[in-house]
Amino acid sequence: MKLELKDVKEEERGILAPCGIICLGCDTYTGEGLEAARKLKSIWEGGNLIDNSMAIGLNPNEIKMTLETLNQYIEKADRGKCPGCFTGGFAAQFCGIAKCVKSKGYWTCAECEDYDPTTEMPCSHEKSAPVPMADPGQMTKMICTRYSKNTCENLKRCREIGYNAFIKEAKEKIANGWRTWHVISDEMVFTNAMKK
């Protein structure tokens, strides 16, 4: 099936990232994690958990550190919800995949003839960039690992049924409770990449 960016309504372009992540189900897009962090912080502070933590077998210093971490998360997340990678989301500013796809006038890698979602290395556009996230090939490999190949399946599905049918399926999936964190691996993909 021929896929083209022009077939995707502008208001739906943030639903799917160029790499195949369903942004619509991503926590930075939905804001569900931020909402949960705010609620937990409010409950713990309101109940002064630091004060009675020892009575329930918890360490007050660990509670204090957790609250500090929640505060940092809330402050950083207060910049607003991510609109999706294609429409200028946070990751798109450094992501080699997003830059490559946009430079070709595509919505996703599914439009690229060089992208093969059935292989171990779906993108052949490896450029050995000094920062792995800036390299389309290296970033594709990291994304495939982090999202347990779900991104490859999404792009393969786009090729099978077209963008509009995929968007409809994705919206139904999200409405039924699916989120991207359901498929994220426990591997430290980006942490390890930043150490190199």
Nearest to 85 by CA among 28, 148, 159: 28
Same domain, 57 and 150: no
Please tell me whether the overall predicted TM-score, pTM, comes out greater than 0.75 for this model: yes
Same domain, 13 and 52: no
Same domain, 53 and 104: no
Tell me what pLDDT residue 132 has: 79
Same domain, 72 and 91: no
More confident site: 174 or 123: 174
Q: pLDDT tens digit string along 101-113?
A: 999 999 999 999 9
The answer to whether the beta carbons of residues 170 and 24 sit under 8 Å apart is yes
pLDDT at 78 over 80: no
Total number of domains in the chain: 2
Same domain, 100 and 37: no
Tell me what pLDDT residue 79 has: 73
Tell me what pLDDT residue 129 has: 67
Same domain, 64 and 101: no
Q: pLDDT tens digit string along 24-38?
A: 999 988 999 999 999
Tell me what pLDDT residue 196 has: 65
Cα gap 190→156, rounded to integer Å: 24
Exposure on the CB side of residue 132, measured as CA atoms within 13 A: 14
Domain region containing 56 = 32-80
Q: pLDDT tens digit string along 62-73?
A: 999 999 999 999
- For the chain, give the mean pLDDT: 91
Question: What is the pLDDT averaged over residues 57-86?
Answer: 90
**Angle, alpha carbons 109-22-185 (nearest 5°):** 95
Tokens describing residue 147 = 């999202």
Cα gap 102→78, rounded to integer Å: 27
